[in-house]
Amino acid sequence: MYRYDEFDHAFVRDRVTQFRDQVKRRIAGDLTEEQFKPLRLMNGVYLQLHAYMLRVAIPYGTLSARQMRKLAHIARTYDKDYGHFTTRQNIQFNWPRLEDLPAILDELADVEMHAIQTSGNCIRNVTTDHFAGAAADEAGDPRPWAEIIRQWSSLHPEFSYLPRKFKVAVTGAARDRAAIRFHDIGLELRHAPKDFGEGAKGETGLGFRIFVGGGQGRTPMVAKEIRDFVPERDLLAYLEAIMRVYNRFGRRDNKYKARIKILVHERGIDEIREAVEAEFEALRGGVLDIPLEAREQISAYFAAPDFEVLPAKSETLEAAWTSNPVFGQWMARNTHPHKTPGYVSVTISLKPTGGVPGDARSAQMDAVADLADRYSFSEIRVSHEQNLILPHVRKDDLPALHKALVDAGLEAANAGLVTDIIACPGLDYCALANARSIPIAQRISERLADHDRQAEIGDLSLKISGCINACGHHHVGHIGILGVDRKGEEFYQITLGGAPGGDAAIGEIVGRGFSTDQVVDAVETIVDTYLGVRQDADETFLTAYRRVGKAPFQEALYGA
């Protein structure tokens, strides 16, 4: 993992000091709320329906056990004993008091964490694949790049007052688990294309395919490719070129048209590419050049832990699997192939039946920290599906790990299944929401709790947003649910066929909305309709939907 040096420590401490001063000036009246708002936002402080909310960055989703214990401590000491893991690899505390915020930020700084740029019209926390550095299908590790971008973008003097917020995601794997095409900039670490000139590839032959202008919200768009290959050493120059074009020419007259996706849409990708390339030519090879030795220095922080040499097959695991069906179910859903023989990555689901997606109590956070120490080289990841990951677990340890998870109430065996629901905080917390999300998620999860039935349904993502801002990613859910307000009553519109990854698509509205009472039945009808139309058990919901279209679903939902 990345470790702060003296420089990073001083930087984060100075930032806390600066914020403490800003809070003081706000209280003294030297700053109006209007002036204070962007300053507090750039330190992750929101004003929600009931209270301030603090959003803490978990850079590229990586936590040490020690950091997780600190988060548990903050939940216990300053909040109502829980925290909420978000879809952008952050954690939110919903009930801190304004006067406690500088102290909380100080506590975070103790463990090399911060809330810098988790909000505001700046470059936000950089996200990446939660299996980075462990997955078997990687061209390269995206984490060093996420760290390099984090540093470059922190308190950037030119790009702190952009037209609108700006989100960057990086993946290093062939299979996109970071939804890069739904980010303002999506980066895919890849080998140079075959026809790329030898000299232009850079020393490593690695570089980035770059997408720009994706996003969800009220105008969902799939990002467009702006360049198929930028050599590693030029990445920051290319990013700075994109940012400069956006900062200068992005719309500022309407908040809802200010994201870069609108600029790309209105001007066209070719015009944007031309402007970016001209800027890139001028910046390339300058101060943002990243020499190989510097890249190696950062990469060293992310060196693989001391894996044991193990056989690919584990006898302990095989025995437990056959003798304990509950373990078998969990094992089948919640583990992911690892590049090192004898190891897997484990998903700890934060979606128990009837629970709040993404919430964890302080005792659970402590338990996960202990398990990470014991079984995963003290390392934890946070996924954008709002689950926790132990990235490096020996297959031999899985039965013992599972038992410990059962004791902590974290054994839900539903990773990737229909009850692995993503939901935004909704009207229960959020000032922007039109409808509640969490209670809908809870009721769907209760209705479809039966594990055998879920397993029969197979891979199916269900995502719920409480308003058109789409924090619950409903546009890219295989089943998406959008809460709307109709005459003061909550209604839910359903979309089908969305997908976030390499097969990116925006879901289609299936028909008129459903009331709070009807929506759970409607989801069940959709699931049953899928089971009826699929060709065999291997045809997933998404594949079947793309084959048959929405007609059979409409018929089942609304009659002929």
Partner 1 sequence: MVPERLLAGVPGPGNEVVCSAAAWPDPGVLDRLFTGAPARDLIAYALNELAPGRAAVVSSFGADSAVLLHHVAAIAPDTPVIFLETGKHFDETLAYRDQLVKQLGLTDVRSVAPDAGRIAAVDPNGDLNKRDADLCCALRKEKPLKQALAGFDVWLSGRRRGQAASRASMPLVERVDGRLKVNPLADWDSGDISAYRTIHELPAHPLVARGYPSIGCAPCTSPVANGEDARAGRWRGSDKTECGIHIARNGETVRVITRNAMPGEDPPTNGRTNGPTNGMTMTERSEIWTKEGFQADPWQRLDDEEALPEDGAIVVSAERWSGLRGRNTLDDWDVGVAVGEGDPIEDLIPDLDRIAMVSLSFPAFTDGRAYSSARLLRERHGYEGEIRAEGDVLLDQIPYMLRCGFSSFAIRDEATRRALADGHIPEVPIYMQPTGSSNEAPFGNRPWMRSRS
Provide the mask over 159-198, with x wherever binding to partner 1 is found by CB under 8 A and - wherever it is not: xxxx------------------------------------
Instruction: Tell me which residues in 486-545 interact with partner 1 (CB under 8 A).
Output: 486-488, 493, 512-513
CB atoms within 10 A of CB 474: 31
**CB-nearer residue toward partner 1: 432 or 556:** 432
DSSP state of 89: S
Does 253 participate in binding partner 1 (rule CB under 8 A)?
Answer: yes
Residue of 3, 194, 199, 254 that binds partner 1 (CB under 8 A): 254
Instruction: Tell me which residues in 313-372 interact with partner 1 (CB under 8 A).
Output: none
Instruction: Tell me which residues in 45-74 interact with partner 1 (CB under 8 A).
Output: 47, 52
Torsion of CA 135, 179, 362, 370, to 10 degrees: 10
Task: Return the closest-CA partner of residue 20 out of 274, 12, 85.
Answer: 12
Does 38 participate in binding partner 1 (rule CB under 8 A)?
Answer: yes
Confirm if 126 and 168 have CB atoms less than 8 A apart.
Answer: yes
State the minimum distance, in angstroms, from the CB of residue 490 to partner 1.
11
* Residues 359, 86: Cα–Cα separation, whole Å: 9
State the minimum distance, in angstroms, from the CB of residue 53 to partner 1.
12
* Residues 123, 116: Cα–Cα separation, whole Å: 10
From the number of C-beta atoms within 10 Å of its C-beta (0-12, 13-18, 19+), residue 94 rates as: buried
Q: Where does this chain touch partner 1 (CB under 8 A) — which range of 326-334, 367-375, 481-489, 539-547? A: 481-489
Count of residues binding partner 1 (CB under 8 A)? Answer: 75
Instruction: Tell me which residues in 86-115 interact with partner 1 (CB under 8 A).
Output: 98
* Residues 474, 458: Cα–Cα separation, whole Å: 19
Does 152 participate in binding partner 1 (rule CB under 8 A)?
Answer: yes
Does 31 participate in binding partner 1 (rule CB under 8 A)?
Answer: yes
CB atoms within 10 A of CB 517: 7
Confirm if 344 and 395 have CB atoms less than 8 A apart.
Answer: yes
Residue of 252, 265, 361, 546 that binds partner 1 (CB under 8 A): 252
Q: Is 285 left (phi over 0), alpha (psi -120 to 50) or beta?
A: left
Instruction: Tell me which residues in 207-246 interact with partner 1 (CB under 8 A).
Output: 218, 236, 244
Q: Are strands 127-128 and 335-337 parallel, antiparallel or unpaired?
A: unpaired
Does 294 participate in binding partner 1 (rule CB under 8 A)?
Answer: yes
Residue of 103, 449, 484, 531 that binds partner 1 (CB under 8 A): 484
Instruction: Tell me which residues in 540-559 interact with partner 1 (CB under 8 A).
Output: none
**CB-nearer residue toward partner 1: 129 or 240:** 240
Residue of 78, 95, 249, 321 that binds partner 1 (CB under 8 A): 249
* Residues 455, 308: Cα–Cα separation, whole Å: 33
**CB-nearer residue toward partner 1: 97 or 453:** 97
**CB-nearer residue toward partner 1: 30 or 503:** 30
* Residues 224, 478: Cα–Cα separation, whole Å: 22
Residue of 121, 314, 349, 419 that binds partner 1 (CB under 8 A): 121
How many Cα neighbours within 13 Å face the side chain of 492?
A: 27
From the number of C-beta atoms within 10 Å of its C-beta (0-12, 13-18, 19+), residue 32 rates as: exposed
DSSP state of 499: B
State the minimum distance, in angstroms, from the CB of residue 480 to partner 1.
14
Provide the mask over 270-289, with x wherever binding to partner 1 is found by CB under 8 A and - wherever it is not: -x---x------x--xxxxx
* Residues 495, 497: Cα–Cα separation, whole Å: 7
Does 153 participate in binding partner 1 (rule CB under 8 A)?
Answer: yes
**CB-nearer residue toward partner 1: 7 or 559:** 7
Q: Where does this chain touch partner 1 (CB under 8 A) — which range of 15-23, 100-108, 351-359, 470-478? A: 15-23
